[in-house]
Structure 1
Amino acid sequence: MIPLIGLSVYREQARWGVWDQQADLLPSAYADAVSATGGLSVLLPPVDVPGAADAVVARLDGLVVTGGADVDPARYGAEPHPRTAAWRPERDAWESALLDAADAVGLPVLGVCRGMQLMAVHAGGSLDQHTPDLVEHEQHSPGGAAFGSVAVRVSAGTRLAGLVGDALDVSCHHHQSVREHPGFVATARAEDGTLEAMEREGGRFCVAVQWHPETATDVGLLAGLVRAAASYGQGRG
């Protein structure tokens, strides 16, 4: 059985060929990484239909909440920082519904960048809306389409450490970061103290990272998700 991995996607104005219109899209690196580690990906555009998230999750073996725009600060009771921009309420709502459905059945989940932030907020946590205000540098998001290279330390004995080791350099592109994460254990930090990963304790694969594992040669995180998804699918029958 090839595990089916759902990938949440952007809904943005986009141009290709003769077209300039709203489109559902995602960098192909995500699907490529899923395929490279033995999974089959399916894109999950925002849907505002009662019961849609439950119906989708019932057909999935794993879920990746992908990167993207800032989470709406209203979701964690905050006023927008001047640098907070371009949040997408329909995507926030859809991914939150997917997480509710995933939690209900124990579906394996991986959060990437914005995905980690959305998972923390969904759990009742909050964000620091502009990390450079705290760390006084732009290393986590150097600007434009460039990724920052950040050294992270992983907590020993965690699921994350079993997947990527105790230290690694990662590709980051985030100007926000998780402040509070109820229900999750902090599992990796950058040298400046920024939280770079978290996971739930227990047997379920529920891991989130601030970096972009889909861009790296080492796809240990995606491989771990796909293995967990294969086990989940076999157990489901």
Structure 2
Amino acid sequence: MASNGSEPAAPLIGVTTYLEQSQTGVWDVRASFLPKVYIDAVTDAGGVAVLLPPQPVSPDIARGVLGALDGLIVSGGADVDPARYGQSPHERTGAPRTDRDDWEDALITAAVELELPFLGICRGVQLLNVALGGTLVQHLPDVIGTEAYQPAPAVFGEQQVSIEPGSRLGALLGQGDAPLPVHVYHHQALDEVAPGLTVTGRTADGVVEAVELDSVPFGVGVQWHPEENAADRRLFAGLVDAARIHRETRTHPRSQS
């Protein structure tokens, strides 16, 4: 597939979005919303970002959407509904956003089935874990005794994450034994890790910050916010490279442009 007859087209990376009350000009309406840093991260890595707002979904719809894409990012945002993992809400857990939970759960399930390269970020790794049968810590300070992972509204914390040697993430980041400095903004975290997921990154507190799905060529979830670090696009470059390979090798390629 080529964009101009000679140069390969950039991989299409779907990015899930928020659905929020938004103001623009004279309008105050519900709208699809995504911080531009996600789009920049994809385009900096050589991909094209395609926004995927919450909407009614079925397994067939999810497979159809992903069949037109080369990769998927499940972005950050509101807390996952604890009913999805069999718990009552903690007093600090946000109100359920079931439209987004349903939409992204279906996309994750279809991505695993289709072996579409995917990256879950913050909420995205949490929903990945829940979709595959895991659970969450609903309020992390109750467990570790600190607010350092979400120090203040709209203020990112800084943590050092130890990456497992020999992991896919380790190969992408090339950290060796050196901890990776990351931007964090989460008051929840993975608790019981779902079957099939391997933990590949933790902080010194023992908080799970990265997992990989062993059954697919590229299935990575990180609890931190790599899109916030414009100087380091290695994780997004890895996704885009995997998306390019997926597009070239899948059985039913999209029509030529």
**Superposition TM-score, scaled by structure 1 size:** 0.97
Given the alignment of the two structures, is residue 226 of structure 1 paired with residue 234 of structure 2, yes or no? no
1:79 maps to which residue? Answer: 88
Choose which of 112, 117, 129 in structure 1 pairs with 2:138. Answer: 129
In the alignment, structure 1 residue 151 sits paired with structure 2 residue 163: no
Which digits, 9 at most, give the CA deviation of each residue in 1:175-211, with x for residues without a partner?
0000122210000001111000000225510000000
Distance 1:86 1:40 in 2: 32
Query: How many angstroms apart in 2 are the aligned matches of 1:96 and 1:189?
Result: 24
Q: Which whole-Å CA distance do the structure 2 matches of 1:135 and 1:47 have between them?
A: 36
Taking the aligned partners of 1:6 and 1:203, their CA distance within structure 2 comes to 18
Q: Which amino acid aligns with 2:196?
A: G
Comparing 23-32 with 9-18, greater Cα deviation is found at 9-18
Question: Which ranges in structure 2 are unaligned for 5 or more consecutive residues?
Answer: 1-8
Q: Which amino acid aligns with 1:183?
A: G
Give the one of 19, 26, 46 matched to 1:18. Answer: 26
Map 1:1-237; keep pairs closer than 5 Å: 1-50=9-58, 51-164=60-173, 165-166=175-176, 167-181=179-193, 182-201=195-214, 204-216=217-229, 217-236=231-250, 237=253
Deviates more, 1:136-145 or 1:197-206: 197-206
User: Deviations along 1:142-199, whole A, 9 cap, x unmatched?
Assistant: 1211110011100110001111224211001000000122210000001111000000
1:49, 1:194 → 2: CA distance?
Answer: 32
Alignment length, in residue pairs? Answer: 237
Distance 1:163 1:87 in 2: 34
Q: What CA deviation, in whole Å up to 9, does each residue of 1:21-60 have, x standing for no partner?
A: 1010100100111000000010001121433211101001
CA distance in 2, matches of 1:109, 1:87: 24
2:15 and 2:234 map into 1 onto residues whose CA distance is: 17
Tell me how far apart the structure 1 counterparts of residues 17 and 204 of structure 2 sit (CA, whole Å).
31
8 Å CA contact retained: 2:11, 2:240: yes
Question: How far apart, in 1, do the equivalents of 2:221 and 2:235 lie?
Answer: 10
SS at match of 1:5: strand
Pairwise CA distance, 1:16: 2.0
Q: Secondary structure at the match of 1:232?
A: helix
Cα distance in 2, alignment partners of residues 228 and 106 from structure 1: 11
Q: Letter of the aligned partner of 1:178 in structure 2?
A: L
User: How far does the alpha carbon of each residue in 1:79-114 deviate from its partner, in whole angstroms, 9 at most, with x for none?
Assistant: 000000133101000001111211111000100000
Partners of 1:230 and 1:179 in 2: how far apart? 33
The structure with the larger Rg is 2
In 2, Cα distance between equivalents of 1:83 and 1:111? 23
**Structure 1 segments (4+ residues) deviating >3 Å:** none
Unaligned 5+ residue runs, structure 1?
none
Letter in 1 for 2:181: D
User: Does the CA contact (< 8 Å) of 2:16 and 2:51 recur in 1?
Assistant: yes
Residue 166 of structure 2 aligns to which amino acid in structure 1? Answer: G
Query: For residues 143 and 153 of structure 2, what CA distance do their matches in structure 1 show?
Result: 21
Distance 1:189 1:17 in 2: 44
Contact 2:196 2:215 in 1 (8 A): no
Residues 208 and 49 of structure 1, relative CA distance in 2, 3 Å threshold: closer
